[in-house]
Amino acid sequence: MTTMIRFSRTGAVLALAVLPFTAPWLPAAQAADTWPERPVRIVVPYGPGGAVDVATRKMAQMLSTQTGQTFVVENKPGATGTIGVSQVARATPDGYTLVANDTTYSLLPHIFKKLPFDPAQDLQPVSAFVFAPMGLAVSADSPYRTLGDLIAQGKAKPGLVTYGSGGPGTTPHFAAEGLAAATGAKFMHVPFKGAAEATQAVMGKTIDFQFASTTGIMGPVQGGQLRLLAVSGDKRLAVLPGVPTFAEAGVKDFGVVNWTGLWVPKGTPAEVSARLQREVAKAMASPEMKAFATKMGAEPRAADTTEFTRILADSNTMWGNVARTIGFDAK
């Protein structure tokens, strides 16, 4: 509000009125220009070391450099990511609490009968980035030299071949069960607290294989501790030209691509979401992020809010079909 006083030529007060006035320093007007004014928290709803964590930490580093403000990553694992996501869904919608996730977010309505939040209403998608194929990894000296070897064993001795994931209902879990359904093999699922733990189990030969985004396992693959039998997508990775695609290895139409995305709580000022989207796009256009994504075997691009919303809808449909195919019992 502001006060307006009218004076006569002699200086006498003729009228005094209190009028509504929107100052340029109010939040709705200033958000895009001044955000962020304090550290921003990005919740990763999984343990450290997995694909979402790796990609998000690199993006947080870039956003900190670009904005001059700190972006802090906090790991809040549990319940297939729903613990961390629900915390952000209930957070103040001011742009200072974000959540990162991957395509597993689209799985949640198909693996839980009831969620502590509404995936379609309580959070607003902002941008997706680092689009990475899924790879099937075994230990470096695994007896399974090809994807065909592994599938053949899964058919001959159902349940003998084991695989790990970050838990029931995660993308790697559904990807492995989708592969089993497509080939007639049967594998035994061994759930872990996070994808990084599953990776350690593969390297330690506790389990036979793991499905994972290349972003999360490229380090041990290039370090010689893991070996990829196949990758999703329609072409081989430039950084690993010797690894066939699933189609080349005999399994067609296995095109699962994992991405990392950022969401904000519903009600976050549109100006803040738009600014964050621009900053993510700027980061992904930088030589540093392009090199990071390429090294991870990922596509170095960002999807804006419109495209990200479409990707989420398509992913929801795809995973719903997989859930029905494998007969997943939502809990």
Q: What is the pLDDT of residues 31-74, one digit of tens each?
A: 557 999 999 999 999 999 888 999 999 999 999 999 999 999 99
Q: What is the DSSP letter of 79?
A: G
Domain boundary among the residues 249, 284, 312 is at 249
Do 225 and 283 fall into the same domain?
no
Same domain, 267 and 118: yes
Q: How far, in Å, CA of 315 to CA of 104, rounded? A: 9
Statement: residue 17 has pLDDT above 60: no
Least Cα distance to 72 among 80, 64, 81, 82 occurs for: 64
pLDDT for the residue numbered 28: 46
In this structure, the number of other CB atoms found within 10 A of the CB of residue 160 comes to: 12
Cα(306)–Cα(313) distance, integer angstroms: 11
Contact between residue 297 and residue 236 where contact means Cβ atoms under 8 Å apart = no
pLDDT of amino acid 233: 87
Answer whether residue 29 shows pLDDT above 50. Answer: no
- Residue 101 confidence (pLDDT): 96
Cβ 53 vs Cβ 215: under 8 Å: no
Query: Residue 241: left if φ>0, alpha if ψ -120 to 50, beta else—which one?
Result: alpha
Asked if the structure places residue 308 within a domain, the reply is: yes
Residue 155: which of 133, 122, 174, 180 has the closest Cα?
Answer: 180
Domain total of the chain: 2
* pLDDT score for 32: 59
pTM, to two decimals: 0.82
What is the C-alpha separation between 40 and 184, in angstroms, rounded?
47
The answer to whether the beta carbons of residues 177 and 210 sit under 8 Å apart is no
| Buried residues in 252-267 as b, exposed as e (16+ CB within 10 A) | eebebbbbbbbbbbee
What CATH number does residue 301 fall under? 3.40.190.150
Which of 179, 180, 204 has its CA nearest to residue 192? 204
Residues 321 and 232 occupy one common structural domain? no
Residues 6+ positions from 15 with CB-CB distance below 8 Å: 5, 6
Clarify whether residues 236 and 161 are in a common domain: yes
DSSP annotation of 159: T
